[in-house]
Structure 1
Amino acid sequence: MRVAGSKTVKPPAEDRSWHPAAKRWFRALKHSGQAVFYEPSDWAYAQLAADLLTAEMAMEKPRAATIGLVLSMMDNLMTSEGARRRIRVELQRPGLDDADGAATVSMLEKYKNDLAG
Structure 2
Amino acid sequence: MTGPVPKRSEARRRRNGPIIETLHVPGNAGTGVTDTRISEVPTNQLHPIAADFVDSFSDTPANYLFDASDWAELRILGLAMSQLLTSNGTKPIAVDLLAAVIDATDDFLTTEGTRRRLAVEVETTAATQPAAYSHWHPAAREWFDALPLSGQAMWYQTTDWAFAVFVAEVIHRFVTSGERMSGKVYASIQKATTLLLTTEGARRKAQLNLNKTSADDIGLTRLMEAYADYL
Q: After TM superposition, is the score higher than 0.5?
A: yes
TM-score (ref. length: structure 1)? 0.75
Q: Tell me by how many angstroms 1:49 deviates.
A: 0.5
TM-score by length of 2: 0.39
Asked if 1:73 is matched to 2:192, the reply is yes
Give the corresponding residue for 1:4. Answer: 26
Is 1:90 aligned to residue 212 of structure 2? no
How far apart in 2 are the matches of 1:62 and 1:30? 30
Partners of 1:56 and 1:67 within 8 A in 2: no
**Same amino acid, percent of matched pairs:** 32
Q: What is the correspondence of 1:32-111 to structure 2 with a 5 Å cutoff? A: 32-64=150-182, 65-94=184-213
TM-aligned CA deviation for residue 34 of structure 1: 0.3
Contact residue 53 and residue 67 of structure 1 kept, 8 A: no
2:138 to 6, 15, 20: 20
1:58-115 Cα distance to aligned partner (Å, 9 max, x none): 111133222221111011100001001111111112368xxxxxxxxxxxxxxxxxxx
RMSD (Å) for aligned C-alpha atoms:
1.6
- Is the partner of 1:84 in helix, strand or coil? helix
Number of residue pairs aligned between Structure 1 and Structure 2: 96
Distance 1:29 1:11 in 2: 9
- The letter of the residue matching 2:208 is V
| Cα distance in 2 for residues equivalent to 1:61 and 1:11 | 30
Matched residue type, 1:62: R
CA distance in 2, matches of 1:18, 1:58: 9
Secondary structure (helix, strand or coil) at the match of 1:2 reads strand
Aligned residue for 1:79, secondary structure, equals coil
Hey, what's the Cα distance between the residues in 2 that align with 1:66 and 1:83? 19
Alignment partner, residue 115 of structure 1: none
Deviation at 1:4, TM superposition (A): 2.2
Report the residue type matching 1:31 in the other structure: L
* Conservation of the 8 A alpha-carbon contact between 1:9 and 1:40: yes
In structure 1, the gaps of 5 or more residues are: 97-117
Computing the radius of gyration over CA atoms, which structure comes out larger, 1 or 2? Answer: 2
1:33–1:91 CA contact under 8 A, matched in 2 = yes
